[in-house]
Chains A and B, each alone.
Chain A
């Protein structure tokens, strides 16, 4: 089949709001593969504001399966969430709705075996619904399914003790029934774990970001940035101790920090903590929601990022923030024991430390290094990461 006849459907049922990496990520994947396919059709959740979807060229189709996990996002209405009744009865309501949505895609776009369906950061119900819908299609007519595991929405259901294992089991069953899968994961550790279960090769694919290397500010204080949504699992509640310990060792404030705040709804439960963070000399706090432009400006004015991510939750996971920092040429300091730490170590994207005290010393050491030296290292790391990532995507998409 000629490449120009193939269509790529980039599917993200969890793309629902214009904060964090939600919209960015789908855009990245839409743009990254435009030259490989006849056309690329990104499909998001119907809850994403219409003007955002129009601006981005996304098709709003999926109903929202994850209200329980996003307190600030609601399904459009109870009526919209109801099943259309054309599907076989499943005990899990969300699975039934997701199956109907997948069938709707098949029908609307007349999906054929030359098409490719990509879940760039897969979610439980989106994939389960797809697999159910594929079950009703003769194997030879089925599209090829590309699944990319990033360790975020795989477990977003209360129905199973280990949702990701249920998902992997269903993928195995679907493959046995004739569906063609190509699988990747965001980190080497996760890829190895998934490959072990699926017993098929699993590629390692980072964020498909072009490097946008920004010159490192050459004079003035050394700025660390803690970008991305401020959350407990991303180490927001580690920051006060880290910042204070650095400040005690750097009373002249040669090292400064910029961090994003908690979202408004959550901030009110942590006012004392935030007040103390705000009180530390040399610390600036951005709003809970930061525009892409402001984030870019902040990357440009800062020198490095601090990612004190939780080692249990991020055991297999990577980090979009890490990939962005790498693309801007900003080294990261992160804790050992996570999926992203292995990426940092292998590509020399920064340094990996064992404990909070080590992070404090690593930050001080990094700030003392020559800026030129840091910049050269960061450029080399970004080059290695990017070229390796491109090759990995090429291999993954070599169908």
Chain B
């Protein structure tokens, strides 16, 4: 009996902590033998990684899209799972260099952009299992609000909650644990209203977090944009009233004033929601129930999609040259969009070889992006 195909899953080291790619690994684990590499930002490719890649059937890049040309050059079928928050603003050359990869998108916005470039993309919409009807968030007199201070310096903080909800707040729970450890979140915990305020900065385990969440009925999404938005999905699955910045992927899960509320983080307007909060929460939960059923069906199709990945002919380049190119590529990527775009332009011949597109086609498609 033949064994499973081997898949190398290359992920951002941050996800070791957030575990936000675990659900996807779980989905693939019955069909593939998966080995995982977590890469830190600025960490360069090395020969060991190239050797590992040589011994597997598929390479899956979770949010590490910029590495795709390296593995395509090695002649590997590459599946890229880009995230809107990390990749939405990347230049057209970034995508065109990966033309021979397959894409799996959790953002319809990114999915359509890539399709417009002629790339093959499968769209998925992830949902968490919904709570039972009786465990749905309940709404009485005032709102019980939860906000995680992940990016308080980006304007998603207590002041924003007060601006949005004002005296409709009965209780506010602030989980003050910024992503950037150099930020002093306490600076942003300034109450001006008369509501009950609770602050945590650490949960012993995930259940402790869920316990706090279950005491609240209103959730403020903690970042301006998301790759998927697992925290938002958790809130939707509980039938909470969700308020989110009006950027993807929030805009792809929340239809404004239908199953939640979208706000502009730089110009938030007061939202008079007390009368409709229960209805919005109900629709959020119903949507999560439907969405979860649909996700289960979608998940069953992912492995077959991966198996359709193109197996490009390897370029005849020395391993050391590929490693060197990979290191320069990583360096340029982390230097910022300007340097990265410039690097890609300087290596148009290489990009043409790995993408299967002529330089003229690349430039033509780029101009229409």
Contacts and interface: CB of A to CB of B under 8 A. Distances in A.
Interface of A: 240, 244, 247-248, 251-253, 261, 264-265, 267-268, 271-272, 274-276, 278-282, 284-285
A279 B229 CA distance: 13
Given A244-B258, A268-B113, A275 B252 contact: yes
A274 B113 CA distance: 12
A379 B257 CA distance: 39
Contacts, number: 73
B112 A267 contact: yes
Nearest to A276: B255
A282 B290 contact: yes
A279 B115 contact: no
A63 B343 CA distance: 44
Given A275-B248, A275-B252, A276-B256, A281 B287 contact: yes
A396 to B, nearest CB: 43
Is the contact region of chain B dominated by helix, strand, or loop, or is it mixed?
A: helix
B259 A279 contact: yes
Contacts of A240: 255
Given A281-B255, A281-B258, 7 more contacts: A244-B255, A251-B286, A252-B286, A264-B112, A275-B251, A279-B254, A281-B290
B252 A278 contact: yes
Contacts of B31: none
A346 B241 CA distance: 46
B279 A279 contact: no
B282 interface: yes
Contact of A247 (B116, B252, B258): B258
Contacts of A275: 108-109, 248, 251-252
A278 B258 CA distance: 12
19 contacts: A244-B258, A247-B255, A247-B283, A248-B258, A248-B279, A251-B286, A252-B282, A253-B286, A261-B112, A264-B116, A268-B116, A271-B112, A274-B108, A276-B255, A279-B258, A280-B255, A280-B259, A281-B290, A282-B287
B113 A279 contact: no
Among all A-B residue pairs, the 9 with the closest Cβ atoms: A281-B287, A279-B255, A268-B116, A280-B255, A275-B251, A264-B115, A267-B112, A275-B252, A251-B283
Contacts of B257: 244
Contacts of A251: 279, 282-283, 286
B283 A268 contact: no
A193 B171 CA distance: 67
Nearest to B118: A264
A278 B259 CA distance: 12
Q: Count chain A CB atoms within 10 A of each CB in B108, B254, B282 and give the residue with the most.
A: B108
A284 B283 CA distance: 16
Contacts of A253: 286-287, 290
B20 to A, nearest CB: 20
Nearest to A245: B258
A281 B291 contact: yes
A271 B248 CA distance: 10
Contacts of B126: none
B6 to A, nearest CB: 31
A88 B367 CA distance: 41
B148 interface: no
Contacts of A280: 255, 258-259
B58 interface: no
Contacts of A271: 109, 112-113
B253 interface: yes
Nearest to A253: B286
Contacts of B248: 275
Nearest to B112: A267
A276 B286 CA distance: 17
B355 to A, nearest CB: 18
Contacts of A278: 108, 125, 252
Contacts of B113: 268, 271
A252 B259 CA distance: 12
A279 B253 contact: yes
B232 to A, nearest CB: 11
A257 to B, nearest CB: 12
Nearest to B288: A281
Nearest to A270: B112
B11 to A, nearest CB: 26
A130 B142 CA distance: 74
A384 B10 CA distance: 62
Nearest to A281: B287
B352 to A, nearest CB: 23
A391 B116 CA distance: 46
Nearest to B284: A281
B263 to A, nearest CB: 14
A244 B116 CA distance: 27
Residue of B251, B257, B284 with highest tally of chain A CB at under 10 A: B251
A247 B257 CA distance: 11
